[in-house]
Structure 1
């Protein structure tokens, strides 16, 4: 893939993101054929977003996967600072007519972890954290038919992320022990007004992808910055809620998020 095609792909994805556009697949010459090409598009998008005044406020990640005939494919994408929200109502763009969210736990870094040659230990990574939060990832594909494009196309476009809602604080110790969580969604649009959801972290514990991510980025010359947030996979897949309606998502034993979305 030529550098001009990498920049053109990133520019096209940037335009969709900034203008809230959903469109078809990129031209053939802009399709990433490898994970490295997809990540190169991602990095070009990050650079162009920074020029537009939107730096990286955090990351989403999971342990590497096998998909589309490829092995050990990274699951990582930036979350841009202006898309991180802490107040209700929270702006959101609809995906197929609904608000799509994923319940997560977000780790917050209290100090920088500069990239370096030797890997960071789990203890060093935990010591760099300042806390954790209940959080909701806001989901959106900027492809009109997301099932028709490859995982690498989605990787280039930041893996369905449109933002992050950051809820109440919990301790790092609570976060690291959160393997299973039972959720209760209270929403007036639901029959009976509420729904129970059994949740389990795909990696067993949420810190496992965090440890992988820090060293993956470090090996690529990318620093972790103080204040950045990291989410490490949904406990319950995608949950759909109505726009402009109050709802509450209770995280058993940890607290709850009460929120209203407003259309962006």
Structure 2
């Protein structure tokens, strides 16, 4: 009986992954998943993520980054792998057709200088911090394979690569330890008009906790953090949906600003 249930579950999750992959290839959107397909927990959502990631490798390139976040400073983090084709360094004009929706978020990115492969003993905070090479101001573009943002259960959106569209990060600083992410001044500018300005704002609190969790989680999933891995650590501004041809700029503390022109 348990084996039968396991086979049915794998088939259900595989169907879900195929639906997401097909939506990306056709650049169409989904109203919802079929009634027979449901994501019951985070483990199943990550299983779908893995299958979609494998399917996208041919067209989007290898996994070179991650997004990680949490609803509160104490809650279990969540994450999604990011492909090379969705990562952009420096001020960027986003390629036509990459994203369907443009939800702009200001975030802090960390780039690792050393890899953290799988091992039986969990990576410690000190070891993870030693592996970080730089910090960067960044813009994540929220996108979704569904026609309406936020229309599905949270686990479904998690399975959908955590609503990732694109990530644009600016020049970095190696003295990242000097940052205080929970109190850094954040400004989001849209078409030369200040849309948001405040201190801190990341619901997860200190992003270092997220990076430690991710280092161990990613290694267990078979996608360990490698030298050069780009990790974005959650929105400091929430999501601001904007129309095409908007220019967005993010400024965070002493980090160099970064901008993106949306096609």
Q: TM bucket by the smaller chain?
A: 0.7 to 0.9
Match of 2:5 in 1: none
Match of 1:156 in 2: 159
1:88 corresponds to 2:92: yes
Separation in structure 2 between the aligned mates of residue 258 and residue 222 of structure 1, nearest angstrom: 29
Mean Cα deviation higher: 228-237 or 137-146: 137-146
Which one of the candidate residues 107, 119, 122 is aligned to 1:119? 122
| Structure 2: gaps of 5 or more residues | 1-7
Which one of the candidate residues 79, 90, 103 is aligned to 1:76? 79
| Structure 1: gaps of 5 or more residues | 66-71
Separation in structure 2 between the aligned mates of residue 170 and residue 112 of structure 1, nearest angstrom: 19
Gap change, CA 1:126 and 1:27, over 3 Å in 2: same
Gap change, CA 1:121 and 1:163, over 3 Å in 2: same
Match of 2:38 in 1: 31
1:180 corresponds to 2:183: yes
Cα contact 1:94–1:100 (8 A) shared by 2: no
Cα contact 1:21–1:142 (8 A) shared by 2: yes
Cα contact 2:111–2:228 (8 A) shared by 1: yes
- RMSD after superposition: 2.6
Separation in structure 2 between the aligned mates of residue 197 and residue 45 of structure 1, nearest angstrom: 36
Cα offsets for 1:47-76 (capped at 9, x unmatched) = 2122445221211112477xxxxxx66511
- Structure 1 stretches (4+) deviating beyond 4 angstroms? none
Q: CA deviation at 1:168?
A: 1.9
- The normalised TM-score by structure 2 is 0.84
For 1:5-154, list aligned pairs within 5 A.
5-52=12-59, 54-63=61-70, 74-86=77-89, 87-91=91-95, 93-95=99-101, 99-154=102-157
Cα contact 2:136–2:255 (8 A) shared by 1: no
Separation in structure 1 between the aligned mates of residue 179 and residue 188 of structure 2, nearest angstrom: 23
Separation in structure 2 between the aligned mates of residue 147 and residue 43 of structure 1, nearest angstrom: 22
Cα contact 2:248–2:259 (8 A) shared by 1: yes
Separation in structure 1 between the aligned mates of residue 203 and residue 174 of structure 2, nearest angstrom: 21
Cα contact 1:175–1:206 (8 A) shared by 2: no
Gap change, CA 1:114 and 1:13, over 3 Å in 2: same
Match of 2:238 in 1: 237
Cα contact 1:139–1:162 (8 A) shared by 2: yes
Gap change, CA 1:75 and 1:236, over 3 Å in 2: same
The structure where strand makes up a greater share of residues is 1
Q: CA deviation at 1:21?
A: 1.9
Q: CA deviation at 1:131?
A: 1.3
